[in-house]
Structure 1
């Protein structure tokens, strides 16, 4: 059984391991000072939020980070699910769905109009889940690094 809980200061070692695995999965790098700031912002639970998924033994097996922002197409806000990662050995366990459901429940309580996220086009494993719990909008993502 998977349980979901808000990230606490005591979770730092487990969060670090999952966070680094997530960054590696996307073949990217995040400087240590950015990771430190991210963790502190998650702990503050003001602008950035986070939770861990744990297996039946209590071992952290996944993470999720999200934030809300004002939107022009609603009087409320949108909830952006920024990071979602489940340890490869625990994929298919329901942890990913539980993490998404956690964010969805939080967003409803917060009053957000919707939850949305991005993923890599070739991330077939994740997309198999996403196609079951959400609707693909067909939009293409662009960005400009500053």
Structure 2
């Protein structure tokens, strides 16, 4: 990473122009597309105080270089809400430099402050670079995801 310090901070309404290219790059990484309306609603939810979804950006100087988005939800396995780290993306040229770890640590801190006792997430089985980090900072639960689009 360059000598410019990395700062992680929650998104604000003024961050849309920085967030959107990272969000679109994240979707492209997973070869996904969403309607513009879905991304617009996602952004609105990230800013709304009454929504359980949150986001932070990693900043290197004036440039946003990573994003993380998480959702608090009920769990039948604990009294406290769980925290689902739904989206994590780091600009390609900065992968492996600690940005992803810092973004995950931001979620850990937010979850702990909210009283959550667990943070969990998924990644695609082909995302070997990310899994190298995840195996150092979390436990692999061993569950296999199934889903059906409706």
State the TM-score bracket (shorter-chain normalisation).
Answer: over 0.9
Question: Match of 1:83?
Answer: 87
Q: What are the ranges of 5 or more consecutive residues in structure 1 without an aligned counterpart?
A: none
**Contact 2:52–2:73 (CA under 8 A) maintained in structure 1:** no
**Contact 2:57–2:66 (CA under 8 A) maintained in structure 1:** yes
Q: CA RMSD in A?
A: 0.9
Aligned length: 145
- Corresponding position: 1:23 with 2:6: no
Map 1:83-102 to 2 at 5 A. 83-102=87-106
The two structures have a TM-score, normalised by structure 1, of 0.96
Runs of 4+ in structure 1 off by over 4 angstroms are none
DSSP-derived class of the 1:111 partner: coil
Separation in structure 2 between the aligned mates of residue 30 and residue 95 of structure 1, nearest angstrom:
25
Question: Match of 2:129?
Answer: 125
Question: Match of 2:58?
Answer: 53
Deviations 1:16-63 (A, max 9, x none): 1000000000001011000000000001142210000012x2310000
**Contact 2:69–2:86 (CA under 8 A) maintained in structure 1:** yes
